[in-house]
Structure 1
Amino acid sequence: MAKRAYPLAKVYGLLEPGPVVLVATARKGQANIMTMSWHTMMEFEPPLLGCVISGRNASFDTLKATRECVVNIPTLALAKQVVGIGNCSGRSVDKFAKYGLTAVPASQVQAPLIAECYASLECRVADTRLVNAYNFFILEVLKAWVDTAVKNPQTLHHRGNGVFAVAGEPVRLRSGMK
């Protein structure tokens, strides 16, 4: 075995939780988008997901105040927009306009869906007990939308420091779960 010590500050890249998503929020008629890769599924029905949003992020304040958002799942086709959105602040930039994305009204929340994304999850904050200590929101998915024309979405997975993996061919293995 040729293992060596690994910097703790880089561990997150080893445990990447899933596809990079674009979180849309809206407050007082102003929509915003942030790039997020810190999320995890927590329950199946109702679907619950947990996510970490930095308290320095404009979306943090909006999500805390409105208690709702849309988690949009982009594919490789939006890679440049995903990175650009993650590298600017919604406090000073209209990210929908700057990155050529289309806001679509949601059915359950005020935040918009992003038309160009493969899937969109309308969410409401279900639990805030971990927000003050860890910036960890627990969201309940109220409505899910998916583009059925996309058969094998090439989602982006952040590995750290500008490195992404792209989901490839699906592999089916026999499962005992029903």
Structure 2
Amino acid sequence: MKEIPASQAYRLLEPGPIVLVTTSQNGKPNVMTMGFHMMIQHAPPLIGCVIGPWDHSYQTLRNTGECVIAVPGLDLGETVVDVGNCSGDRMDKFQRFGLKTRPAKDVSAPLINDCLANIECRIVDTTLTDPYNLFVLEATRVWINEDRKERRMMHHRGDGTFTVDGGTLDLKDRMVKWRHLP
């Protein structure tokens, strides 16, 4: 076996698909790319997200306490990377990258029509925000875009490369301990 630096452990334990996070304050929406997030629990549905002060969306999220997590498909790969390479304090990223939006139901941040799914969220815990830039969000509404033909998601490997979802392994009949979950 070859040893690699411990600082690269995230490349092996990548938490899930790369996502887009929308926020809005004073009528000005923004979108950012995020790779560090995790499910914390099933019910209520809690999501942990790392968004730091280096991100333009950080202060808006702190001020408003709400956002949308949008899950893009593989066909948005280049757009997702490009959104992450620029700052919303200098431009309207929705216009620049042609992302189509629609209003959310419970939060001021917009949904992204181009994505596979959108999750409306509200902050429920900020005790880990100052030391670790970790926001705990509760999902309040989930929207699925069933019309999307491209259903594969991308998982960032931390070096500019991505793993892409492929097939599905169905082991539901073996998951006896978790049958009570939806």
User: Contact conserved, 1:121 with 1:142, CA < 8 A, in 2?
Assistant: yes
Structure 1 residue runs without a partner (length 5+): none
- The CA deviation string for residues 130-175 of structure 1, in whole angstroms up to 9 with x for no partner, is 0011100000001000012448820010001110001111111131
Superposed CA offset, 1:12-38 (max 9, x none):
111110000000000011100000010
Question: In the alignment, is residue 153 of structure 1 matched against residue 151 of structure 2?
Answer: yes
Structure 2 counterpart of 1:9: 7
- Partner of 1:100 in structure 2? 98
Provide the residue aligned with 1:40 in structure 2: 38
Which residue does the alignment assign to 2:77? 79
TM-score, with length taken from structure 1: 0.95
- Partner Cα distance (1:92, 1:149) in 2: 33
Q: Give the equivalent residue in structure 2 for 1:126.
A: 124
2:120 equivalent to 1:114: no
For the Cα contact (< 8 Å) 2:75–2:150, is it kept in 1? no
SS at structure 2 position matched to 1:160: coil
How large is the RMSD of aligned CA atoms in angstroms? Answer: 1.2
Unaligned runs of 5+ in 2: none
State the match for 1:63 in structure 2. Answer: 61
Q: Which amino acid aligns with 1:67?
A: G
TM-score by length of 2: 0.93
